Amino acid sequence: MPQHSQPTIACEDPTSHTRPHCDAECGLVYRDAPDTQWCSACGQHYGYWKRGDRLTGLPDRWDWEASALTAFRQTRTNHDVLALLIIDLDQFKQINDEFGHLAGDTVLRGLASELRQSIPDHGLLGRYGDDEFLALLPHTGQNIALDVAQRTRDGVETMHVTASMTPGGAPVHVPRHTASIRITCYSPHRHWELADLLLDADTALREAKRSGGNSVCLARRGPRHTQTNFP
């Protein structure tokens, strides 16, 4: 999470005197400080999340794609490397069916929070749709991307999420969180576009879901395919 020395407020217009909570839906209240531009809940400047995904506080697919495309073009111009991670929460439909959709929403917010902790500060996070998330990592090669993905998978598996299943009911633990993560890497010798990276990772992710999930894999076009599965 970015650290700033300025006074902090919630993500609202700094000219407003009503700032009930962060636009990232952290649910936290902060003192009025009209001379600042940073939120102590999410570490971003005010209004950062206004066009993003309201459930998780992350950029939605289209906002992510706009930022990712800029980063990708800079990478290609500089003959640099980058990595793309696509993260999918395993068996998410079962969570909705067993605990309810509001509990599922809580799990998705928990996953977004975990991703903020696991993905490096320079990474571009976004919600791809439903239970899938994206992380673009500029200046990142294959080995570091694998380390980030393993750390993310471990963090998801240890998430502790509670949710109420009935009005006024006591919160219950929502168990069994695992994720499938697929990585695709760009290097200068690959004449790819951002869409090619997305397609490569998404194709490998579909294969992972059929094989049971809870794994980290480097997606590659062609017969070479390295995968680590976890019991």
**Structure confidence by residue, pLDDT tens digits, 102-148:** 999 999 999 999 999 999 999 999 999 899 999 999 999 999 999 99
Per-residue model confidence (pLDDT) at position 51: 62
Contact present, 22 and 42 (Cβ < 8 Å): yes
Q: Is residue 86 part of a domain?
A: yes
Q: Clarify whether residues 100 and 196 are in a common domain.
A: yes
Per-residue model confidence (pLDDT) at position 54: 87
Q: Clarify whether residues 45 and 65 are in a common domain.
A: no
Distance CA 121, CA 26 (A): 19
Q: What is the pTM of this model?
A: 0.73
85: three-class secondary structure by DSSP: strand
Residue 190 belongs to domain spanning: 61-229
Task: Examine the residue annotation and report whether 35 is marked as an active-site residue of this protein.
Answer: no
Higher-confidence residue of 192 and 228: namely 192
Instruction: Return left, alpha or beta for 43; rule: phi > 0 is left, psi -120 to 50 is alpha, else beta.
Output: left
Structural domains of the chain, count: 2
pLDDT digits (tens, 9 = 90+) for 14-72: 333 333 344 444 433 333 444 445 566 666 555 555 568 989 999 999 999 999 999 99
159: three-class secondary structure by DSSP: coil
- Which residue is associated with the tokens 């090619």? 196
Distance CA 42, CA 6 (A): 14
Q: Is residue 103 part of a domain?
A: yes
Q: Clarify whether residues 86 and 187 are in a common domain.
A: yes
Q: Clarify whether residues 129 and 180 are in a common domain.
A: yes
Q: Is residue 56 part of a domain?
A: no
Per-residue model confidence (pLDDT) at position 38: 59
Q: Is residue 55 part of a domain?
A: no
The mean predicted confidence, pLDDT, of the chain is: 79
* SS3 of the chain: helix, strand, coil, percent, to 5: 35, 20, 45
Query: Which one from 60, 131, 200, 202 is the annotated catalytic residue?
Result: 131
Q: Clarify whether residues 67 and 173 are in a common domain.
A: yes
Q: Is residue 219 part of a domain?
A: yes
Q: Is residue 84 part of a domain?
A: yes
Q: Is residue 134 part of a domain?
A: yes
Q: Clarify whether residues 36 and 106 are in a common domain.
A: no
Per-residue model confidence (pLDDT) at position 16: 39
Query: What's the half-sphere exposure (Cβ side, CA atoms, 13 Å) at 132?
Result: 13
Please give the DSSP secondary-structure letter assigned to residue 14: T
